[in-house]
Amino acid sequence: MCGGTVEAMTELVYNPFGFAHHDDPYVTYKRLRDEAPAYWNPELEFWALSRFEDVMEGFRDTALLSSRGSVALESRRPIGQNAGFHQMIEYDPPEHTVLRKLVSRVFTTRTVAKMEAEIRKIFTVYLDEVIESGRAEVVNDLTSPFPMDVISAVLGVPAADRPALRANSDKVMIREDGVCSIPPEAAEGMFGLVSYFMEDLPKRKAGEGTGLINDLVGFEFEGRVLTDEELLGFCILFIIAGHETTTKMVANVMELLSKHPDQKAAVTADPGLVPGTIEEVLRYHNSTQYMHRTLTRDFEIHGQKMRGGDSVLLLIGAANHDEREYGPTAEEFDIFRRPDRHLGFGYGAHFCLGAALARMEGKVAVEEILRRIPDYEVDHESKVRFHSSNVTGWRSLPVTFSPGQREGSGRTAEN
Ligand code: HEM
């Protein structure tokens, strides 16, 4: 009772860049939903929508909330200003629809199902490398290299080039405590990615290499081929989106299960519960916490007058804990929950293109972990949080387990 009073008297401040906020964003999210469903941060000048229905509608209404002013708060710019390279995630319909059609067939559930055996083989290589030792640093040893290998295999990026791309992609995400801008290290990471693909694309155009990048180089739509800025945009989007969030998601599953031993025992005993576990992690502690949009015109919601050009954050993490959608147990982790919907992959036109791939990668990784190192224990004392603005996860997650046997045939030239 007393605690509640103190909390009610505390000023409600939501700063997605505050490292302290990352430890438990859900306390702030609840206050936002209840006390300020259309919240204005005067210092950083953005609105935040936190209730499930508002966030979903925000994703749906692309005419009102545009992606053209960037989908990240720290790189926002006036709509129409050139971003250097063109990513479809920063287009609105109808231009977005055309680009999306070009690549959507690569990531359908059916296409991804055909990749399951290959994904398992890739994950086995990494698990084999640590299984005899009885200890691992989950992020570096397991959950980070394997999604990079998978997306690289799709794109046709050679194995030798992947560690540097992974390092640069990780750097891109880095943010400083409380600061809404892109630090030099992150800019350096982006420069590394851009330089790599600017050197790589002419070779693809000359017929070298295989994979999705070569397909994109040859695609024609509406009587034209993709521009260099669009090709570059696709490569960078796929590398970052295909790697960062899945890496964080699998480590989040391991950390959350270790804190809920009964649920860990249940899913270990019945691998059929793995897909439901993944869905619950996407809802309960999603690796993407929010997306940024720019208002195209004046708009009023919950009594607040927003102006055309304003920044709006669609808080996925808050919406996914909304009691108005999930009832009184909304704030609990429950792998047996079967919600009709969640916003972990966004909603509408930009719904995550890689959702089927991410679900498959998550399923394979978690199945293999629970089958081969079922007694893993997280060292909660020494785990280290990854601090970004909208990506949530672990920089380091040490675990110990009973040593096991290798099962695969080791690395090949391509993994
Ligand atoms: C757990 C893993 C993942 C999560 C939580 C996640 C989350 C999201 C979210 C929330 C969006 C919507 C962005 C917006 O509305 O502005 C999105 C879009 C996107 N995601 Fe994912 N993602 C994941 C994995 C992947 C993977 C593996 C790929 C690999 C191809 C991928 C590729 C994309 C692309 C290309 C878009 C942009 C789609 C468009 O603009 O139409 N994502 N993702």
Task: Choose which residue among 352, 357, 388 to substitute to test ligand 1 binding: the one with the highest number of ligand atoms within 8 A of its C-beta.
Answer: 352
Residue 330 lies in a domain: yes
pLDDT at 115: 93
First vs last C-alpha separation in the chain: 56
Q: Quote the CA–CA distance of 271 and 276 in Å, as a whole number.
A: 10
Residue 137 lies in a domain: yes
Q: Whose CA is closest to atom 17 on ligand 1?
A: 352
- Pick the atom of ligand 1 nearest to 293's CA: 16
Q: How far, in Å, is the centroid of ligand 1 from the Cα of 396?
A: 23
Q: How far, in Å, is the centroid of ligand 1 from the Cα of 354?
A: 6
What is the domain count for the chain? 1
pLDDT at 394: 95
pTM, rounded to two decimals = 0.95
For the CA atoms of 234, 236, 241, 246, the dihedral, rounded to the nearest 10 degrees, stands at: 130
Q: Quote the CA–CA distance of 407 and 149 in Å, as a whole number.
A: 19
Amino acid identity at 297: R
Q: Quote the CA–CA distance of 82 and 69 in Å, as a whole number.
A: 9
Q: How far, in Å, is the centroid of ligand 1 from the Cα of 355?
A: 7
Residue 411 lies in a domain: no
Q: Whose CA is closest to atom 22 on ligand 1?
A: 352
Q: Quote the CA–CA distance of 47 and 313 in Å, as a whole number.
A: 6
Residue 407 lies in a domain: no
Ligand 1 binding pocket (C-beta < 6 A) is 59, 67, 71, 88-89, 100, 107, 151, 237-238, 241-242, 245-246, 249, 286-288, 291, 344-346, 350, 352-354, 357-358
Q: How many CA atoms lie within 13 A of 308 on its CB side?
A: 5
Q: Whose CA is closest to atom 11 on ligand 1?
A: 352
Q: Whose CA is closest to atom 21 on ligand 1?
A: 352
- Assess contact for 400 and 380: CB atoms under 8 A: no
Q: How far, in Å, is the centroid of ligand 1 from the Cα of 402?
A: 35
> Which structural domain, as residue segments, surrounds residue 116?
2-76+85-400
- Pick the atom of ligand 1 nearest to 362's CA: 1
pLDDT at 106: 84
User: If phi over 0 gives left and psi between -120 and 50 gives alpha, with beta otherwise, what is residue 303?
Assistant: left
pLDDT at 414: 54
- Pick the atom of ligand 1 nearest to 147's CA: 27
pLDDT at 10: 87
- Pick the atom of ligand 1 nearest to 103's CA: 35
- Pick the atom of ligand 1 nearest to 99's CA: 41
Q: How far, in Å, is the centroid of ligand 1 from the Cα of 131?
A: 31
State the CATH number of the domain containing residue 203: 1.10.630.10
Q: For the range 239-242, what are the long-range contacts, defined as Cβ-Cβ under 8 Å and sequence gap of 24 or more?
A: 239/148, 239/151, 239/152, 239/155, 239/157, 239/165, 239/169, 239/193, 240/169, 240/172, 240/193, 241/89, 241/352, 241/353, 241/354, 242/147, 242/148, 242/150, 242/151, 242/154, 242/354, 242/357
Residue 99 lies in a domain: yes
Q: How far, in Å, is the centroid of ligand 1 from the Cα of 285?
A: 16
pLDDT tens digits in sequence order for the chain, 415 residues long: 333 334 456 899 999 999 989 989 999 999 999 999 999 999 999 999 999 999 999 999 999 999 999 999 999 999 988 777 789 999 999 999 988 988 888 889 999 999 999 999 999 999 999 999 999 999 999 999 999 999 999 999 999 999 999 999 989 988 999 888 899 999 999 999 999 999 999 999 999 999 999 999 888 877 778 889 989 999 999 999 988 899 999 999 999 999 999 999 999 999 999 999 999 999 999 999 999 999 999 999 999 999 999 999 999 999 999 999 999 999 999 999 988 899 999 999 999 999 999 999 999 999 999 999 999 999 999 999 999 888 999 999 999 999 999 998 766 545 5
